[in-house]
Amino acid sequence: MAHIELKNITKKFGGHTALTSLNLEIADGEFFVLLGETGAGKTTTLRLIAGLEKPTEGQVFIDGVDVADWGAAERDVALVLQQYSLYPRYTVRENLEFPLKPKIRRLPDAEIKDRVARAARTLRIEHLLDRKTDRLSGGEMQRVSIGRAIVRKPRVFLMDEPLSALDAKLREALRTELKNLQMQLGATFLFVTHDQIEAMSMGDKVGVLNHGRIVQTGTPQEIYNNPRDTYVASFVGSPPMNLIDGKLVDNRAVMAPMNFELPLSGAGNAADGRPLVFGIRPEDVYLESGAPVEAHVHDVENHGVEKILTLRVGDTMLRATVPARTDVEIEQPVRFAWNPDKVVLFDKGSGVSLRHAS
Amino acid sequence: MASVALTHLDPASRAAARGWSDLTIRNLFIIPTLVFLIIFNIFPLIYSLGYSFTNFAANRSEPWQFVGLQNYRELLSDDHIWSNFIITAKYVIVSVAGQMIVGFGLALLLNRSFPMKGLITTLLLLPMMMSAAVVGLFWQLLYSPSWGPINYVFGLGDFAWLSNPDSALYAVAITDIWMWSPFVMLLSLAGLSAVPQHLYEAAAIDRAGWWYTFTRITLPLVSPILLIALIFRTMEAFKTFDIAYTMTTQPTAELIAIRLYKQAFQQWDTGKSCALAYIVLIMVLAITNLYVKYLNKVKER
């Protein structure tokens, strides 16, 4: 268990800059999720903490100690990778024993047995212990590689997209299991993913990474309700937040290109007349017969519990999540409104939310 | 069975236009090789098996007689031949062990990135590309007691490597190690670079030391290819002729292949040397078979 801090980390690979003055703090016992697209620098961040890469600039602290000169072995972290990295030719048991058997810190046999048994029980792989690793399914392999991490009781668990090679059902199941495991162990977890659903459902805290920079850190709720900029707004949430260009005139949002207006309260007058982007989550857009704006239904996606409608106003598309019983057809004219309390305003030029800018 | 594996001929191809089937094409490729193999390998093999039961001598025109197993009986009870086999065994063990150690060691050193890696690897491969007879002659000069660089460098005075009965065989083995370690190195490098990097990273994370990682991950993963190198080198070392023949005339370094040569082309005892060749062949086959069995076991694990 440990507290981790990255200070001003820059990492370059030749001419390519993977991370730019990155600052990150992970509290002891926290489940921290690093969320970002492929190539955003998530894996690099993990490898820097694990000691598999050295930062070009900046420092890594584990429990307040600068670990710049420590190798991976001394940092005492566990790393679970997407490609499992099980040792071939060995059985599951031998894989689990591997980290416990190096001569320098070899544990007594009884202790090894006990730890392997406990890890196997936790991950429900007891029946696989004597099987060769190449005879396992993807889910089983990933459990074994998590098992190899937990037998050692490391200070930090680093997980590099451990679930993304699995099929959807298994992914959901392991998601819950991992979260439970973390609570049970009380360990610090750093979990890297490109899947915003994983991030929202598992993380105590989420850090959004874009092009080697941390854009926003916060609880999943903060990230969801109060995105720092349009990138976070469009990356987090499925379907993503609607982003519409417009202006604020007399407490009314005036959408610039095709002139529709919606009421907006509490934005103050500071932003009057300035080019803005209005952000609204699809669930905060609702259909109502007397609502102020007319639109056409462009597309309907039925998700069972709800329907996601794509509405068309002029050339602008926007999504609305409505109850499944709502009866609409494609090209049907409807009227919609939004929940004015939930609107997030972004500066048109910088993309930064006005709430975060001040 | 074989026809199942054949791909179908593209109907637009020229071969199809000539009315050839894919079977015709297969035969066109295979038949010349088969004919060549039969004329130059299989036929002499069987023919020499026949000779091995006769007292035929290639330099005489007298009629020869069928002598049954007499050649084999004489050879197998000849102490001289057995001492040749023992010399050969010593030579095979020393030179193959040396090649495996040096070759694999070099491969471990080369299996990382450093400046001019490609150039250095190529230079290290050069010995293997030379003609064995030339290598033998050069090493004879290197070993020269009075002015050879080896004695000079190691300060051995006028130690006569190649005419000292105790050292001649090992001097030849050292030359063979120099010449063929690169071969083991090349195969080992291929094996080492096929070990996925992420396994080493996982082992580092698991806090395994260098030796632990080497014995638990590297060795098991490269052992099949090391065994293949071992098979090749053992077979080759067993039939070494050229290097040894050009380097020394010491009876203590008379390998079985040299003995065979003398019997066939100096004593012109053709029938008997065919029998000896068959004894050698059977031995090599037996050893190779053991290796291959073991290799299959290693691969299954």
Instruction: Convert the pLDDT of each residue in B80-90 to its tens digit.
Output: 999 999 999 99
Instruction: Convert the pLDDT of each residue in B244-287 to its tens digit.
Output: 999 988 999 999 999 999 999 999 999 999 999 999 999 999 99
A-B contacts at Cβ under 8 angstroms: 61
Contact: B206, A99; criterion CB under 8 Å: yes
Q: Of A52, A87, A102, which is closest to B207 when you measure between CB atoms?
A: A102
pLDDT band (50, 70, 90) for residue B20: confident
Contact: B202, A103; criterion CB under 8 Å: no
What are residue A309's DSSP bridge partners?
A: A300, A320
Tell me, what's the pLDDT at A128?
Answer: 92
How far apart are alpha carbons B230 and A272 in whole angstroms?
82
Q: Of A50, A77, A103, which is closest to B212 when you measure between CB atoms?
A: A103
* Class of residue A145 by CB neighbours under 10 A (exposed 0-12, middle 13-18, buried 19+): buried
How far apart are alpha carbons B176 and B98 in whole angstroms?
9
Q: Of B196, B207, B217, which is closest to A99 when you measure between CB atoms?
A: B207
Tell me, what's the pLDDT at A282?
Answer: 93
Contact: A87, B217; criterion CB under 8 Å: yes
Tell me, what's the pLDDT at A256?
Answer: 67
Q: Is A104 on the interface with B (CB under 8 A)?
A: yes
Contact: B202, A104; criterion CB under 8 Å: no
CATH class for the domain made up of A4-225: alpha beta
Q: What is the DSSP string of A309-334?
A: EEEEETTEEEEEEEETT----TT-EE
Report the half-sphere exposure of A32 (CA within 13 A, side-chain side): 28
Do residues B201 and B242 make contact, with C-beta atoms less than 8 angstroms apart? no
Q: Of B205, B208, B212, which is closest to A79 when you measure between CB atoms?
A: B205
pLDDT band (50, 70, 90) for residue B5: low
Tell me, what's the pLDDT at B1?
Answer: 40
How far apart are alpha carbons A191 and A186 in whole angstroms?
15
Q: Is the pLDDT of residue B301 over 70?
A: no
Instruction: Find out if CATH 2.40.50.140 is the number for domain A242-357.
Output: yes
Instruction: Convert the pLDDT of each residue in B164-220 to its tens digit.
Output: 999 999 999 999 999 999 999 999 999 999 999 889 988 888 888 888 899 989 999
Domain boundaries, chain A: 4-225, 242-357
Q: Is the pLDDT of residue B3 over 60?
A: no
Give the chain A residue whose CA is nearest to the CA of B214: A102
Average pLDDT of chain B is: 90
Q: Is the pLDDT of residue B6 over 60?
A: no
* Identical fold between A4-225 and A242-357: no
Which residue positions in chain A have pLDDT lower than 70? 1, 256-259, 265-272, 357-358
Q: Is A71 on the interface with B (CB under 8 A)?
A: yes
Q: What is the DSSP string of B228-252?
A: HHHHHHHHHHHT--HHHHHH---GG
Helices A109-123 and A138-150: crossing angle in degrees, nearest 10, is: 140
Tell me, what's the pLDDT at B2?
Answer: 44
Q: Is the pLDDT of residue B126 over 90?
A: yes
Tell me, what's the pLDDT at B91?
Answer: 96
Question: Which residues have CB under 8 Å from A90's CB, separation 6+?
Answer: A98, A132, A133
Mean pLDDT value of segment B101-120: 93
Q: Is A13 on the interface with B (CB under 8 A)?
A: no
Q: What is the pTM of this model?
A: 0.75
Contacts of B209 in chain A (CB under 8 A): 73, 102-104
Mean pLDDT value of segment B222-232: 93
Contacts of B201 in chain A (CB under 8 A): 52, 72, 79, 85
Q: Is A105 on the interface with B (CB under 8 A)?
A: yes
Question: Which residues have CB under 8 Å from A79's CB, separation 6+?
Answer: A46, A50, A52, A149, A158, A159, A160, B201, B202, B205
Tell me, what's the pLDDT at B190?
Answer: 94
